[in-house]
Structure 1
């Protein structure tokens, strides 16, 4: 029977610390899985196909099973939040025009999409879209926010500050900030992942 390797399998290998995945001529690897494996430096190693005749050969791979595989493949490739190019060194280029922003808690006026993951690079980067909205944020991490477009009004401890397109906002850890956007603004927000030892220290403070 043919084996399908998708994002789920690659993620699982990465979490387990596995650096190689054995495949054969009967293995189907989705494009997204290949890209993620390259990003995680996971190698696909070819080996002889295990006794195809004993397994019933290709003929045992039913039309229904093919349909299931095709649906899974289309769902995986069609629901990607963005297109990106990867290099084995870890370099990643996210195609900005392809990023699909998702509403935060169903609020269409506040959308976000993570484009760099903490487990990959020790930091997170999110693209934010804000339209005629206000919200409060109190993060346990320091953040750097670059205003791509629009204007953002910030209120900290009762003091009002304004950031314009091209401005960079640094927010210290634990600072409560009220954000207000009149019109439309887009922001690139990055946060550094803290080490577990620092997190434990913070709990003890």
Structure 2
């Protein structure tokens, strides 16, 4: 769209004590504005249009990455970590940034913490980390869930069936199952579920 530089703009520039007027190459200068520019001895500078950034560029600036990370963190209040992204879709959670939240209702004087991590994929799968310390928890599971025990051992009861699972074991818990877990020692596990 073309712009016009008219006499009133030139008079305004002159009355404000300015000596330069910047216009882009598509600006139309009216005949009266040209006369006033010459009369007042003003300089007209034609500025180059800003180049549009190539949206398909694979070079993503650090500022863009930071703004994306801030948006993700703002939109997902449960996310308590920093995720690094690149233009190829790689997502890396900075392990030193993970902050755990206390699990309520831990028994036997024990404790538990968790961190849910959401990668923003369309199937709404969640991934998270859990730490348990000499405690017992009972919960009805709302989604199909997989657990991977990365440290320690769990005594796990699902709908009255019980077993002890150790480091390296993978456990599947079907949705709507009533589960009780007892941390026999310090336990760390990874969970994955699909909403």
Asked if structure 1 preserves the Cα contact closer than 8 Å seen for 2:159 and 2:177, the reply is: no
Query: 2:69 aligned to 35, 50, 75, which one?
Result: 35
CA distance in 1, matches of 2:85, 2:166: 32
Q: What is the TM-score of this pair, normalised by structure 1?
A: 0.53
Where does residue 154 of structure 2 map in the other structure?
A: 152
Q: Give ranges in structure 2 of 5+ residues lacking alignment.
A: 1-62, 73-78
Where does residue 103 of structure 1 map in the other structure?
A: 102
Q: 1:91 to 1:121 in 2, by over 3 A?
A: farther
Where does residue 76 of structure 1 map in the other structure?
A: none
Could you say what the CA RMSD is over the residues aligned between the two structures, in angstroms? 3.0
CA distance in 2, matches of 1:138, 1:106: 14
Q: Give the greater-gyration-radius structure (CA).
A: 2
Q: What is the TM-score of this pair, normalised by structure 2?
A: 0.55
CA distance in 2, matches of 1:190, 1:146: 9
Asked if structure 1 preserves the Cα contact closer than 8 Å seen for 2:129 and 2:188, the reply is: yes
Where does residue 172 of structure 2 map in the other structure?
A: 170
Where does residue 91 of structure 1 map in the other structure?
A: 90
CA distance in 2, matches of 1:147, 1:123: 19
Q: Give ranges in structure 1 of 5+ residues lacking alignment.
A: 1-28, 40-79, 194-205
* Dislocated runs of 4+, deviation >6 Å: none
How many equivalent pairs are there? 126
Cα deviation for residue 111 of structure 1 reads 0.5
Deviates more, 1:151-160 or 1:132-141: 151-160
